[in-house]
Amino acid sequence: MLKIENLSKSFNKGTENEITVFNGLDLNIEKNKCTAIIGSNGCGKSTLLNIIGGSINIDSGDIVLNNNNISKLKEEKRAVNIGRVYQNPSMGVSPSLTILENMCLADKKGDRFSLKGLIKRNGTSKYVELLKDLDLGLENKLNTKVKYLSGGQRQSLSLIMAAMKYPDLLLLDEHTAALDPKTSNVVMEKTRELLKKYSITTIMISHNMKDAIDYSDRIIMLDKGKVVLDRDSKNITESELINIYREKIQVVA
């Protein structure tokens, strides 16, 4: 489904501050599965998602999505087939626009449209039904500006917006890291429901070992740009994962 082949990426190349993040990385992501990427800060997790999404160019290698090489595609072109939810609850939405306007924009992604014809009142029933799935009452706040929503409401809205066009791939970049534990649990449950309903191939970055196990099908651990663990989530416990994390990444609890 997603194949990363012989990927290499360095920053500050040719200077004394050169940093090599990836050197010949190979990775296959399975269709309709959620893959959790874990690892210490600086191991390459976010860089990998930025590379897949197109906001960071690679030095060499190939990124193949559904048999199409997207390595040279611009970020806006990739966004047609790749959805993303960011760590910052405001990055996946337009806070100054209403919930309805945000959903209309997401629905028009990849299409030509004019601002005048953005909202078709007879088409709002689709958005209402999508928002009802969240069970947060947002379907009754279509004309509320997103800046007035809580962080959890924004992330839940971002999830719906990222998935509503049925992307080939969904990237979740620590999308609950900025939320309090209670809200994080709510958003993770909404995430589980959404992924199950739409069977979306997903890559999820997480620092939470329990979430990585509970909400994914597969766990990949990175260290210094290399895969040091690749295992089905059902075949590992939280304590085992923490011990492996400490051993591989050499993190002291």
The pLDDT of residue 41: 86
The pLDDT of residue 251: 47
- Please write the tens of the pLDDT for every residue from 61-98: 999 999 999 999 999 999 999 999 999 988 999 999 99
Show the tokens assigned to 53: 């999404």
The pLDDT of residue 227: 95
Output the CA–CA distances (angstroms, integers) from residue 195 to 102, 123, 179, in the order listed: 21, 24, 20
DSSP 8-class letter at 118: S
Residue 106: its H or E element? helix 99-107
- Please write the tens of the pLDDT for every residue from 93-144: 999 999 999 998 888 876 665 555 566 655 688 899 999 988 899 999 999 9
Q: Which of 246 and 235 is assigned the larger pLDDT?
A: 235
Q: Could you tell me the residue ranges of all domains in the chain?
A: 2-249
Contact 45, 224 (CB under 8 A): no
| Predicted model pTM | 0.92
Architecture of domain 2-249: 3-Layer(aba) Sandwich (3.40)
